[in-house]
Chain A
């Protein structure tokens, strides 16, 4: 499986500011996703990061709040804009491999997550 890294691993931010989270993969992947895990909760998909085009957002998430970039097949960023304490969560990126190899196709692998606290 791919090796996925996220930066930063954690951060404490003031309300009203923005934070950009980076997700880097050590190989080219077809799909990249961003999830949010609020305290004590399960994971909720924010958006699918599309290479070279605008991300596809899930219901309840908007581009102005969570702008996403994906300039190539190994890198994506998620920005949490104009933060409030309710944005305190773990943000995880995941990737899905290309091709038909059974160990990577149609299977998402997750990065270590970014733990965000907003004061």
Chain B
């Protein structure tokens, strides 16, 4: 069965510090990988995605993620966090073989302290 694990439910970082949010997946097909962000009371905004090619992908708002096939991971990083980055972050996996239906991780709530 397909699954996505985000092991950190909450993370708190200081403004200006670096950030890494972890995502591991178990999937029976070549996956498409996504990171979405949800601010309180908002819908989901796409940060970045990986389909193929270069395993380091750049997204919006200064985020990047690295796909590591050997570790089944797709961790999200940002070198310097801003207070406005406080939100909930979801990793998701899909594949054409499964109709592009997304399986989401449980989410990681990011708190930024000044």
Cα A107 to Cα B59 with chains together (Å): 14
Asked if A106 and B96 sit within 8 Å, CB to CB, the answer is: yes
Tally of A interface residues using CB under 8 Å: 25
> For chain A, what secondary structure do more than half of its interface residues adopt (helix, strand, loop), or is it mixed?
strand
Once A42-B106, A92-B43, A111-B43 are accepted as A-B contacts, the answer to whether A106 and B101 lie under 8 Å apart by CB is no
Number of interface residues of B (CB under 8 A): 22
> When the two chains form their complex, are residues A42 and B43 in contact, meaning their CB atoms are under 8 A apart?
no
Q: Which residues of B contact A (CB under 8 A)?
A: 32, 34, 36, 41-46, 49, 51, 90, 94, 96, 99-102, 104-107
Are B43 and A48 within 8 A (Cβ)? Answer: no
Q: How distant is the Cα of A41 from the Cα of B88 in the complex, in angstroms?
A: 11
Given the complex, which residues of B lie within 8 Å of A4, measured CB to CB? 43
A106 close to B43 (CB less than 8 A): no
